[in-house]
Structure 1
Amino acid sequence: MLFHIQHGHDETTCPFDAPETVTSTFGSVLPSLAEHGINVVGAWVDPPGHQFFFVVETDDYAALVDGLAPIMTSGSATIRPINDMQTQVAKRMADVG
């Protein structure tokens, strides 16, 4: 199953000027997800907006949450299940047609 994750913090909690904190949080999250068996499809960042975006694949939500542990205290995240748009549209068209 695919999930879209949006994680954000604000300028008061941003680790930008603390390299050791960057290493232990955002620098560690991708390896942590991999260690928990999560396939990271892609990861992006909007530095001025303090927003991070991930698309991951897993059937284990608990492992996904565990994999996000390095950034849990650095802000908040929204995790949403997502589906391929073309597949979903084709399915809907088949259902009604």
Structure 2
Amino acid sequence: MEEVGDMLFMVTARHTTERCPLGTVQPDPDFATELLNAAAEEKARGQIRILHGYAAAPEHTFWFVVETDSTEALCAFCLPLQRIGTVSFSPVLTIEDQVNWMSRQGESKW
């Protein structure tokens, strides 16, 4: 049984053209494998689940929607991304959960 948790985080990772692991200046053919391995290790421990992942190549930016209750697992997943650039993450809600929360607070008039 997969444990994980119920907190969602939006991870945003940016790097420069010069640090792009798939670019021509400092190519790193092992980067994708390292990132996937970090995610797989935390998933195997029941600590993290990557729900969605997106990339914008021209902007050199990745986004991941991650489910976890462990900041330690989240940081472990982010290590390969931090090696090439900057990483930030924020707790988020789905729009549906946000609307439901606002309804319970009596603030649903928007």
Does TM-score exceed 0.5, indicating one fold? yes
Q: Match for residue 63 of structure 1?
A: 73
Say whether 1:6 aligns with 2:12: yes
Q: TM-score, normalised by structure 2?
A: 0.76
Q: Match for residue 4 of structure 2?
A: none
Say whether 1:26 aligns with 2:32: yes
Contact 1:34-1:40 within 8 A present in 2 as well = no
1:34-91 Cα shifts (integer Å, max 9, x gaps):
2113201011111111001101100001111012222222000110110121122122
Say whether 1:88 aligns with 2:94: no
Runs of 4+ residues over 3 Å off in structure 1: none
Q: Match for residue 75 of structure 1?
A: 85
Between Structure 1 and Structure 2, the one with more helix by share is: 1
Higher relative contact order (CA 8 A, sep 6+): 1
2:17 alignment partner, SS class: coil
Superposed CA RMSD in Å reads 1.7
Tell me the percent identity: 28
Q: TM-score, normalised by structure 1?
A: 0.85
Distance 2:53 2:10 in 1: 10
Structure 1 residues not aligned, in runs of 5+: none
What number of residue pairs does the alignment pair up? 95
Structure 2 residues not aligned, in runs of 5+: 1-6
